[in-house]
Amino acid sequence: MALREIIIIPDKQLRLISKPVETVSAEVRRLADDMFETMYEAPGIGLAAIQVAQPVRLITMDLVRKEGNGLTEPRAFINPEVIAASEEMNVYEEGCLSIPEYYAEVERPKQVRIRYTDLDGNVQEEDADGLFATCIQHEIDHLNGVLFVDHISKLKRAMVMRKFEKAAKRGIKYV
């Protein structure tokens, strides 16, 4: 396993649409391992491959570790997609490893049904609600070149983008 650099806005790679994973290969599993290590080190609860400059449809997530109880439940989602969403909405305060130290309330469907391939190559379907629903939608957005700030007001988004663009011009790196 190896730590990978997490790219930060305004890096244009974050706006790329990630390509489907054709085969669950040793290389894909290695990338997932690296992403878990990177996500835990950051620390975060979810990471899309594009955030480590790999434009493929792969997400890693661990919602159990967030509780700080020393337990982990690492999960990988290959080619994930939302196949159904509830009309009922939920609001969570979201943050992002590619937009450090910024948080905003985002409204998303409260429940979703997802389809994905696991690291063994098996296609799975699963219902998600609560934090899981929010996190999986957030990470799937990344695979489609969408950031959580795209779900907030234009004014707030413009302020955040300007802050990070100025920092990038001054060579400031967020860690």
Where do the H-state alpha helices sit in the chain?
Answer: 26-41, 130-143, 154-169
Separation of first and last alpha carbons in the chain: 20
The three-state secondary structure class of 170 is coil
pTM for the full predicted model:
0.93
Model pLDDT for residues 67-126, shown as the tens digit of each residue: 566 678 899 999 999 999 999 999 999 999 999 999 999 999 999 999 999 999 999 999
pLDDT at 11 exceeding the cut of 50 = yes
DSSP secondary structure, 105-154, as one string: EEEEESEEEEEEE-TTS-EEEEEEEHHHHHHHHHHHHHHTT--GGGGS-H
List of domains in the chain: 12-169 (3.90.45.10)
Handedness of CA 115, 120, 122, 128 (dihedral sign): negative
pLDDT in the model for residue 171 = 77
pLDDT reported for residue 72: 80
Which residue in the block uniquely carries the two structure tokens 């290590």? 37
pLDDT band at 175 (very low <50, low <70, confident <90, very high): very low
Structure tokens at 95: 């943050």
Cβ atoms of 96 and 174 closer than 8 Å: no
Per-residue pLDDT, 1: 77
- Percent of the chain past pLDDT 90, that is, above it, reads 87
Residue 81, amino acid? E
- Here the contacts of 167-174 (C-beta below 8 Å, separation 24 or greater) are 168/8, 168/10, 173/8, 174/8, 174/100, 174/101
Percent share of the chain, pLDDT over 70? 94
Residue found under tokens 């570790």 = 65
- Residue with tokens 């994905």, as numbered in its chain: 116
pLDDT of 25 strictly over 80 = yes
Positions marked active-site: 139
3-state SS class at 84: strand
Q: What is the rounded average pLDDT of the residues 132-158? A: 96
The pLDDT tens digits for 26-38 are: 999 999 999 999 9
